[in-house]
Amino acid sequence: MKIGKGTELGKFAIWTAALILGAALGTLGSARLDDFFNFVASAYTRLFQFIAVPTIALAVTTTLAALGAKRSTGKLFLHTIVYTLLTTLAAALVGLGLYLLIRPGNLPADIIAESAGATSHYVPETFYGHVLAVIPNNMVHPFLAGNVLSILLVAAAAGFGIATMKDTPEKAALLKGVNGLQELLFTMIKGLVWALPLGIVAFSAQLAAQVKTGLDIGSLGKYLAVVLAGNLVQFFVVLPLFLVVRGINPLRVIRAMSPAVMMALFTKSSAATLPVTVNSAETRLGAKPEVARFVCPICCTINMNGCAAFILVTSLFVMQNGGAALTLPTMLLWVLIACVSAIGNAGVPMGCYFLTLSLMAGQGMPIGILGVILPVYAVIDMIETAENVWSDSCVCAMVDGDLS
């Protein structure tokens, strides 16, 4: 799908206008308007939950199933996967380190209690409790209980199972059906994204009303500082270090791949940027065509550095506000969860946001906090996508160097 820069800039302008409009309306102090915006925010959150869980599950399944067809490429595939895992893990660890360093505080208790969509499921507070809560004891219960981590585990098992099946008409039919269902859900998500300005107005109005009544935004500011600083550290420090260790000049790579990185910043879509990424890798970076045309599409699907950091930091922030005990083993477990979730987050618009919301809903956390984050998510999404494409470029450069 080709997305023009002008169209995306227009969308960003509309979203910014929605943010400003919502903030202005939220300061009016109208009880009727506040009730209406609370209703819209709650409805939008419910729709997110409804569509996100099956979409993310199918994305994990189809991603892992598709990787099975790549095994014949041997060394090229192995190097791509290794670098993808290392950079994604590094991004999550950077996010964890900054979270522990900056230590965002909790939002006021009354705001958390009133969060739209907050639930009351039991949340295990020990490392073993978290692990056991993920392991399903039957195929149906995870879906009925809304346990997203269990659903992701089932989806991953199904994906690996399909990947290892022999190529038969039955496998082809199964893949066709799964991919068709995924396309249907993607179409439904486009409808939610189309209506996003209304959601931004509602959530922005909620936030403005809360600030007017005394909401301390210091903790929210620290959370945003962790997310943005994590992306910048990964972009300007960690990924260049990967290149330096492999004997590659980071400045040469960023100059060559700058068209793709800049397009990703404005389109907020790694998939839409893919043609520019491949072309830049071949014609500007000088990567071998067989490497660029193989590595870039795979990385576009599974190499989500920015998403891993966002999922981890946002999950920790929401769980902390929900009263969960964030012990070091628990946080390290969520580093793993964030990495696996990011790798499976293939081709879903606003996928990081959808997935984090689903994970927190499955844990019984006050997911309305994500509504407070939504008005500024457009900016976060721009930076994350640029980081994702920059990471794809670095992986392509490293794999090309290894195989030269």
A 10 A CB-CB count for 369 gives: 24
Cα–chain center distance at 37:
26
Percent of the chain scoring above 70 in pLDDT: 81
Per-residue model confidence as pLDDT tens digits over 184-239: 877 887 777 687 788 778 877 876 776 665 555 677 889 999 999 999 999 999 99
Distances (CA, A) of 193 to 43, 52, 114, 284, 385: 14, 12, 25, 34, 17
**Range with the largest mean pLDDT of 103-117, 167-181, 384-398:** 384-398
Q: Do 130 and 124 touch, CB atoms closer than 8 A?
A: yes
Distance, in Å, from the CA atom of 284 to the CA atom of 252, rounded to the nearest integer, reads: 10
Provide the pLDDT for residue 114. 54
For the record, the structure tokens of 276 come out as: 């520019």
Q: Tell me which residue of 189, 365, 396, 195 sits closest to 298, measured CA to CA.
A: 396
Terminal Cα distance for the chain, rounded: 32
Q: Would the CA dihedral through 120, 125, 127, 132 be positive or negative?
A: negative
Can you list the domains of the chain with their CATH numbers? 5-402 (1.10.3860)
Tell me the HSE value of 39 on the side-chain side, using a 13 A CA sphere: 6
Per-residue model confidence as pLDDT tens digits over 333-368: 999 989 988 876 655 557 788 788 878 877 778 887
The amino acid at 376: V
Provide the pLDDT for residue 394. 97
What's the farthest any 2 CA atoms get from each other in the chain?
Answer: 66
Provide the pLDDT for residue 344. 65
Distance, in Å, from the CA atom of 393 to the CA atom of 198, rounded to the nearest integer, reads: 35
The conformation of residue 251, written as its DSSP 8-state character, comes to: H
336 φ/ψ angles, rounded to the nearest 5 degrees: -65, -45
Distance, in Å, from the CA atom of 114 to the CA atom of 107, rounded to the nearest integer, reads: 11
Q: In angstroms, what is the C-alpha Rg of the chain?
A: 21
Provide the pLDDT for residue 116. 44
In this structure, the dihedral spanned by the alpha carbons of residues 165, 170, 176 and 182, taken in order and rounded to 10 degrees, is -60
Q: Tell me which residue of 101, 105, 323, 99 sits closest to 220, measured CA to CA.
A: 105
Question: What does the pLDDT average to over 33-53?
Answer: 78
Per-residue model confidence as pLDDT tens digits over 245-286: 999 999 999 999 998 898 787 667 777 687 789 889 999 999
226 φ/ψ angles, rounded to the nearest 5 degrees: -65, -45
CA angle 179/87/264 to nearest 5° reads 60
Q: Which residue has the tokens 């509602």?
A: 202
**What angle do the packed helices 31-67 and 369-402 form, to 10 degrees?**
30
Per-residue model confidence as pLDDT tens digits over 113-134: 655 444 444 444 555 666 777 7
Q: Provide the mean pLDDT of the chain.
A: 81
Q: Do 125 and 325 touch, CB atoms closer than 8 A?
A: yes
Provide the pLDDT for residue 234. 96
Q: Tell me which residue of 368, 111, 117 sits closest to 214, measured CA to CA.
A: 111
Distance, in Å, from the CA atom of 225 to the CA atom of 329, rounded to the nearest integer, reads: 24
Provide the pLDDT for residue 199. 78
